[in-house]
Amino acid sequence: MNHTELIRAATQTLIDHVDELTALDQAIGDGDHGLNMKRGAQAIQGKLDELAGQSLNDALRTMGMTCMSTIGGSSGPVFGTLMVTLAKELPPAPQPADLARGLAAGIAALTRLGKAEVGQKTLLDVLAPVQAVLADDGPAEAGGAGGGGGGFLVARVRECAYASADATASMDAIKGRASFLGERALGHVDPGSRSMALIIGAICDGLSETSSTGAA
């Protein structure tokens, strides 16, 4: 599966989950996260032909700029900055270690942007655990997980993303509108974290499908 198909899958899952994301944000935010993410996803889908002719790095840069110009609220700069950073950091055909380094750079960029840290009920609470899984995938003799194969790693990343998003329900909100709710924000999943998990999950599903098709 080429990067265009992964982009299509990731954006479509945001569109398909717009009602869920809206409900999550209505509980602890402005209630517009779902529609904002849908708007950005549709804008990216409108550029799929252009993205198909671009390298992965150029496609990430194009998507990042599109997010910044079309997604309202804080999500546009956040998701846009992440993709633009990955565009700068990743090699043309990234391996797990490259993705780990790229995500580390993305996390640092988002920390500077929003003055947020891991554990404060933001999408960093999905990105950081996923980055750790990817960083731990080195050869077993080098201290990494190793030996599990690409499919095993993809499954671990997918599981980590969804579990980490769910775990934000037990976190205090320190940043954003949810921070004004105090303890009332407890029990609610952070919408940005859920969006990030959906994106990562869709990419993992696409990679797993490609892997199983190739194996057949």
Please report, for the chain, the start and end positions of each structural domain, with discontinuous segments joined by +: 3-215
- What's the confidence (pLDDT) of residue 141? 30
C-alpha closest to that of 127 among 99, 97, 155: 99
- What's the confidence (pLDDT) of residue 86? 98
Which residue reads 């549709």 in tokens? 42
Which parts of the chain sit beneath pLDDT 50?
A: 138-148, 178, 180-182, 215-216
- What's the confidence (pLDDT) of residue 165? 97
- What's the confidence (pLDDT) of residue 176? 54
8 A C-beta contact, residue 142 and residue 97 = no
Alpha helix (H) residue ranges in the chain: 3-16, 18-28, 33-45, 48-52, 56-70, 75-89, 96-114, 124-135, 149-167, 191-215
- Encoded amino acid at 98, one letter: D
Our CA angle for 17, 19, 25, nearest 5°, is: 105
Tell me the C-alpha distance between 132 and 120, whole Å.
Answer: 18
- What's the confidence (pLDDT) of residue 140? 35
> According to the 3-state scheme, what is the secondary structure of 146-174?
CCCHHHHHHHHHHHHHHHHHHHHHHCCCC
- What's the confidence (pLDDT) of residue 1? 62
- What's the confidence (pLDDT) of residue 172? 73
Q: What is the mean pLDDT of the chain?
A: 87
Structural fold of domain 3-215:
1.25.40
Say what the pTM is: 0.88
CA distances from 148 to 135, 152, 205 (A): 14, 5, 17
- CB-side neighbour CA atoms (13 Å) of 118: 13
